[in-house]
Chain A
Amino acid sequence: MSVDAATVRRIAHLARIAVAEAEVPHLQGELNAMLAFVEQLSEVNVDGVEPMTSVTPMEMKKRADVVNDGEIPDDIVRNAPETQGHFFLVPKVIE
């Protein structure tokens, strides 16, 4: 399988990465090189094979449902590019 220019633009949008029109052919070439490389997987017989979900056979531990952290809003927002009080600021969102 390979991707065309329209698909490259669609993937870029899904990934929320702005891609300039001039970059599309180059990106298309790179993505197709990767897709050509992974194409060989289609020759493997995977009938009846379970997809891997956990590499080590283990039961996931569950934490106790208790409050064990918090009251650190200054820490939470300290790296944010724009804040007001203890809130993150973003452009107005109207849907």
Chain B
Amino acid sequence: MTDLTSLTIAEAREGLASKSFTSLELTDAHLAAIEAARSLNAFVLETPDKARDMARAVDARIAKGEGGPLAGIPLGIKDLFATRDVRTTACSKILGNFVPPYESTVTSQLWRDGAVMLGKLNNDEFAMGSSNETSCFGPVVNPWRREGSNTALVPGGSSGGSASAVAALLCMGATATDTGGSIRQPAAFTATVGVKPTYGRCSRWGIVAFASSLDQAGPIARTTRDAAILMRSMAGHDPKDTTSVDRAVPDYEAAIGKSVKGMKIGIPKEYRLDGMPAEIEKLWTEGAAWLKAAGAELVEVSLPHTKYALPAYYIVAPAEASSNLARYDGVRYGLRVPGRNIGELYEGTRAEGFGDEVRRRVMIGTYVLSAGYYDAYYLRAQKVRTLIKKDFEDCFARGVNAILTPATPSAAFGVGEKGGADPVEMYLNDIFTVTVNMAGLPGIAVPAGKDAQGLPLGLQLIGRPFDEETLFSLGEVVEQAAGRFTPTRWW
């Protein structure tokens, strides 16, 4: 039998349907792969017993012809998703051994459709980071290395565990979340496909909150088709999340292979940065040529407020985070550091429980919301956000179907290489992705090539609100032209 872990979800679905193998065999193959890859630190909790129980149950359903759209497919779950009776920490010390008595809506839909949970995946603490180095469980290692080098590279973040595990064939797909680029940037760093859906497409209920007006769940997978398959199960209206949109979920997979002929693709001139590596520039031009060859029309567009998206984000996101994270007080769950009075208990617990990056963001968020500074910072940032969104609306109003940009300003970098002296250095990683969150739009990162050192690079496509289907069609064109990229196993 060929190695079951190298199959795509679409291929495994066929194999399961034709009884070539069982979900239990598929699950066991992945559990073995996870065990052999502990040096990557992608999983923070392995749940082999639960995985085998779920696989056996779904095998019985498949035998009766009752398997759902994801029947028997083993997945990894970012540790930001609450999973009933399974420890959920957001990779923060402050949640300690929190064991939710409930299940997030997105994961419950995956189990409804027959998926199998392999375990919980590492991420930056509370999803705050772009390298997965802020996790209280330590950094995740990228399965990709520079050619001829043993230097450990980051997988990106915050969904670093998800990206690393999918790239290293430890799970067939993974859930992830994206507040400023946390799905698309790690996908680009690991040659995987990452989708950040339109705000409101997936329910946020049961996902540990970071910045509620920006957070959105989405899949990381090895192909565009697999991402489309996962999206269909993850999306949908949920009465428990008032920002979730009541709109039918399309069959995203049907968009794969659909013609993109006549589509207008915008190339935003503001994304051409000074000092951008020539390789990124070349990749971008190549991607545009592939779409053109498939019949799309390229047009130069302008998104004049692009450069203000990242600074506005670093006001809005910390402000919302400072408010969301107020709940971690040592009283109802998680870590408690005793104090002589309630004030000491709060302050001691939060000092001990939050890592440096989280503390920094909670403090800056507290500052920009404080009396006397609210108008100068927070209100102004929300106005700038209106302008950023309008840039995109103007562009779409002129008939543009989607916008093509690089996904990241560089390939993966070394563990410990960035952000040590100045936090802003790390933040610049999200320069191409953060605009999409600020405007609530859907975006997809697709592997498109490699740099001179053999590291993967990705392209990003940005779509109209709720038009993920166009992104899947265009992403498939890029994937067909660029081919797929798999790291050489060293772990």
A-to-B contact residues, CB < 8 Å:
1, 3, 7-8, 11-19, 27, 30-31, 33-35, 37-42, 44, 46, 49-56, 58, 60-61, 63, 72, 75, 78-82, 88, 90-93
Distance of A16 from chain B, by nearest CB (Å): 4
A56 touches B386 (CB 8 A): no
Closest 9 CB pairs of A and B: A55-B440, A51-B382, A79-B333, A81-B336, A75-B101, A18-B351, A18-B347, A46-B383, A15-B366
Known: A51-B386, A56-B198, A58-B200. Is A41-B339 also a contact (CB below 8 A)? no
CA distance A89 to B338 in the complex (A): 11
A17 touches B101 (CB 8 A): no
Distance of B208 from chain A, by nearest CB (Å): 14
A49 touches B386 (CB 8 A): yes
**A-contact bits for B380-413, CB 8 A (1 contact / 0 none):** 1111111101000000000000000000000000
Nearest residue in B to A14 (C-beta to C-beta)? Answer: B366
In the complex, chain B residues 204-246 whose Cβ is within 8 Å of any chain A Cβ? 213, 239, 242-243, 245-246
B-to-A contact residues, CB < 8 Å:
97-99, 101-102, 198-200, 213, 239, 242-243, 245-246, 305, 307-308, 310-312, 314-315, 322, 326, 329-336, 338-348, 350-351, 354, 359-360, 362-364, 366-367, 370, 376-377, 379-387, 389, 422-424, 427, 438-440, 465
B101 touches A16 (CB 8 A): no
A15 touches B387 (CB 8 A): no
B384 touches A16 (CB 8 A): no
B342 touches A90 (CB 8 A): yes
A31 touches B367 (CB 8 A): yes
Which of A1, A17, A51 sits near B354, CB closer than 8 Å? A17
B311 touches A16 (CB 8 A): no
CA distance A7 to B98 in the complex (A): 34
A14 touches B308 (CB 8 A): no
Nearest residue in B to A16 (C-beta to C-beta)? Answer: B346
Distance of B189 from chain A, by nearest CB (Å): 23
CA distance A34 to B102 in the complex (A): 37
Known: A1-B376, A30-B360. Is A49-B101 also a contact (CB below 8 A)? no
A82 touches B336 (CB 8 A): yes
Which of B239, B311, B333, B351 sits near A38, CB closer than 8 Å? B311
B367 touches A80 (CB 8 A): no
Chain A residue contacts of B366, Cβ below 8 A? 11, 14-15
Distance of B282 from chain A, by nearest CB (Å): 29
Distance of A56 from chain B, by nearest CB (Å): 5
A-B pairs with CB below 8 Å: how many? 162
Chain A residue contacts of B346, Cβ below 8 A? 16
Distance of A31 from chain B, by nearest CB (Å): 6
CA distance A30 to B361 in the complex (A): 10
CA distance A60 to B125 in the complex (A): 30
Distance of B76 from chain A, by nearest CB (Å): 23
Chain A residue contacts of B423, Cβ below 8 A? 30, 33-34
Chain B residue contacts of A3, Cβ below 8 A? 367
Chain A residue contacts of B385, Cβ below 8 A? 51-52
Which of B102, B242, B364 sits near A60, CB closer than 8 Å? B242
Distance of B235 from chain A, by nearest CB (Å): 14
A80 touches B333 (CB 8 A): yes
Chain B residue contacts of A51, Cβ below 8 A? 379, 382-383, 385-386
A17 touches B363 (CB 8 A): yes
Chain A residue contacts of B383, Cβ below 8 A? 44, 46, 49-52
13 A–B pairs (Cβ distance < 8 Å), ordered by A? A14-B366, A15-B366, A17-B347, A17-B351, A17-B362, A37-B427, A38-B377, A44-B380, A50-B386, A51-B379, A51-B386, A58-B245, A91-B345
Which of B326, B376, B424 sits near A33, CB closer than 8 Å? B424
A37 touches B314 (CB 8 A): yes
A34 touches B360 (CB 8 A): yes
CA distance A7 to B372 in the complex (A): 13
Which of A39, A52, A79, A93 sits near B98, CB closer than 8 Å? A79
Q: Besides A55-B213, A56-B440, 10 other CB < 8 A contacts?
A: A15-B366, A31-B367, A34-B360, A42-B380, A44-B383, A46-B380, A49-B387, A51-B382, A61-B242, A90-B331
Distance of B460 from chain A, by nearest CB (Å): 19
B331 touches A88 (CB 8 A): yes
Task: Give the interface centre of B102, B367, B384 by most chain A CB atoms within 10 Å.
Answer: B367
Chain A residue contacts of B344, Cβ below 8 A? 18, 91
Nearest residue in A to B387 (C-beta to C-beta)? Answer: A49
CA distance A51 to B440 in the complex (A): 15
A41 touches B335 (CB 8 A): no
Task: Give the interface centre of A11, A27, A82 by most chain B CB atoms within 10 Å.
Answer: A11
Chain B residue contacts of A54, Cβ below 8 A? 213, 243
Chain A residue contacts of B332, Cβ below 8 A? 79-80, 88
Distance of B12 from chain A, by nearest CB (Å): 34
Nearest residue in A to B337 (C-beta to C-beta)? Answer: A18
A11 touches B314 (CB 8 A): no
CA distance A34 to B382 in the complex (A): 17
Distance of B218 from chain A, by nearest CB (Å): 16
